[in-house]
């Protein structure tokens, strides 16, 4: 549902930038939050403002309609509108990669073709979820989508969220060799999958994007071409500093940049606000900064007023290292 006051202008054709292939995919690519209003309606205006801010900060690409974009709670029409908003906002300045994955192969193909028609530079396709398909079924799914897609396909290798078997390095090599995929977002608690994927597919046309917030420094140092994550909605500047430092082999600067990001990650990994989701935390941070943060769509919940007050205290302390230790309440660490 999109209320009229939340609808972005739609006049004119989507702006066309220079042709982009998957070889431009890399660097810092936020998994963009989808903005909803307090009634749960898709807020295109706020979403466009948020994307514009990220691009203006210097990110290298945007991923819309992914996990952090709450694709699982969007209707097909809303997913289509989201791609339109992103393409019109970005205006060819950076690649727009659209989340087009669904459980059903045919629906995924239709969503991918629709995104291509709206001007998306690529598609990110989650492993077929919930029904726990076999590895052969996952491989066939991705081959079918890749064969039917007019744009490059990034496999979203996230077995924890999807419930599907992980794509091993040999699987990625086979899919790339078949022309089914041209990239992977590798979302695991560890980073060895990045090293293994690069060893299995040394061709730099195959793009490897680290997809978690656990160890981006190690992933980038180990051969990842870039970083896709929801946390990048709120730490883009430091993430860019981290990426640039790794590129010039300045490990000390990379560690400093990661140290500035760590307090934000700890909010979720150590549940410093209590049992809350990461998207609610990012939205709360944006609101505290006076920026559009939107609301989560049910069943996900926003922060409570007391949690947002606690968040403000922790963010204030994160700028003052001598106060930071005092913000971690006993019993809240996982």
Where would I find the H helices in 91-130?
Answer: 105-117
CB-hemisphere CA count at 13 Å for 135?
10
Catalytic residue among 129, 132, 156, 323: 156
Catalytic residue flag (residue 268):
no
* Exposure string for 21-44, b = 16+ CB within 10 A, e = fewer: ebebbbbbbbbbbbbbbeeebbbb
Q: How far apart, in whole angstroms, are the C-alpha atoms of residue 128 and residue 162? A: 7
Task: Write the burial class of residue 214 (CB in 10 Å: 0-12 exposed, 13-18 middle, 19+ buried).
Answer: middle
The DSSP bridge partners found for residue 153 are 123
Where would I find the H helices in the chain?
Answer: 44-57, 76-90, 105-117, 135-148, 159-162, 169-177, 192-200, 216-221, 236-247, 251-269, 278-288, 305-318, 321-324
Catalytic residue among 185, 210, 268, 282: 185
The token pair at 44 is 């295109």
The DSSP bridge partners found for residue 295 are 36
Q: Read off the DSSP letter of residue 118.
A: T
Catalytic residue flag (residue 185):
yes
Query: Distance between alpha carbon 148 and the CA centroid of its chain, in Å?
Result: 24
CB-hemisphere CA count at 13 Å for 222?
20
Catalytic residue numbers read 156, 185
């Amino acid at each position: 549902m999109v209320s009229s006051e939340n609808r972005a202008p739609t006049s004119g054709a989507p702006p066309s930038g220079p042709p982009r292939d998957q070889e431009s995919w890399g660097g810092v690519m936020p998994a963009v939050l989808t903005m909803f209003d307090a009634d749960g309606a898709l807020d295109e205006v706020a979403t466009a403002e948020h994307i514009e801010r990220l691009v203006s900060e210097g990110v290298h690409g945007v991923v819309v309609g992914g996990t952090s974009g709450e694709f699982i709670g969007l209707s097909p029409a809303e997913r289509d509108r989201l791609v339109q908003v992103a393409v019109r906002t970005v205006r060819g300045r950076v690649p727009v990669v659209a989340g087009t994955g669904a459980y059903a192969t045919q629906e995924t193909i239709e969503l991918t073709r629709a995104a291509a028609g709206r001007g998306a530079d690529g598609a990110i396709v989650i492993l077929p979820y919930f029904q726990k398909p076999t590895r052969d079924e996952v491989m066939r799914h991705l081959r079918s989508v890749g064969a039917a897609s007019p744009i490059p396909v990034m496999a979203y290798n996230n077995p924890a969220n999807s419930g599907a078997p992980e794509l091993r390095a040999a699987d990625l090599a086979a899919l790339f060799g078949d022309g089914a995929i041209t990239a992977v977002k590798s979302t695991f608690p560890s980073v060895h999958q990045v090293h293994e994927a690069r060893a299995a597919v040394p061709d730099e046309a195959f793009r490897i994007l680290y997809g978690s917030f656990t160890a981006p420094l190690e992933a980038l140092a180990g051969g990842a071409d870039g970083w896709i994550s929801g946390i990048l909605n709120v730490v883009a500047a430091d993430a860019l500093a981290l990426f640039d430092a790794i590129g010039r082999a300045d490990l000390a600067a990379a560690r400093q940049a990661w140290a500035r990001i760590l307090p934000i990650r700890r909010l979720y990994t150590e549940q410093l606000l209590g049992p809350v989701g990461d998207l609610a935390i990012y939205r709360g941070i944006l609101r505290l900064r006076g920026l559009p943060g939107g609301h989560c769509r049910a069943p996900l919940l926003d922060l409570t007023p007391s949690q947002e007050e606690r968040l403000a205290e922790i963010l204030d302390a994160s700028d003052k290292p001598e106060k930071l230790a005092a913000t971690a309440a006993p019993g809240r660490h996982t």
